[in-house]
Structure 1
Amino acid sequence: MARVLLFGRLADLAGWRERDIPAVSLADLRGRIATEDPALFEALQAPAVRTAVDQELVSLDVALGPDSEVAFLPPMSGG
């Protein structure tokens, strides 16, 4: 089961910040999110949203282990 973390506007949109979701790969996880919450899935597709698996940025599909942590990171702003 992957521990999924959402930050910023993604957490606001989903209504949760941290959740366990069963998935064997990043593609599988995205598919499960698409089924459960199409609006969140669409937001995750934005080019500026970064994905980290076990605290490493990834850009392609990767396998997830039973204790994987997946973080979806929206663009940051500040000053």
Structure 2
Amino acid sequence: MALLLLFLGPLEDVAGAGEIALDVAEPLTLAAIAERLEPELAVALVGAKIRMALNGNLVAPGEVMAGDGDELAFLPPVSGG
């Protein structure tokens, strides 16, 4: 029973890895997920410019309900030219 968290770009540096698996018994909200993470990472993930994709679909922070077998990706803003 695991929820896979994926971190892209600079979030990977903050997390110390590109992904983390959390053992979960039931679906969790974003706030509940953040409580299980290191404080620095939790703060970085709830930044106003961070987007999230649950199983490949973009979701708003209030729509996150992720559990066993789900993949939640955290997408930092990108720049280009």
Q: Confirm or deny a common fold (TM above 0.5).
A: yes
Which residue number in structure 1 is paired with residue 51 of structure 2? 50
Instruction: Return 5+ residue gaps in structure 2 as ranges.
Output: none
Kindly report structure 1 stretches of 4+ aligned residues shifted beyond 4 Å. Answer: none
Matches within 5 A, 1:33-72: 33=37, 37-59=38-60, 60-72=62-74
Report what 1:18 is aligned to: 19
One-letter amino acid matched to 1:18? E
RMSD between aligned residues: 1.4
TM-score between both structures, scaled by the size of structure 2: 0.82
Aligned residues: 76
Q: Which has the higher helix share?
A: 1
Percent of matched pairs sharing the same residue: 36
Question: Structure 1, unaligned stretches of length 5 or more?
Answer: none
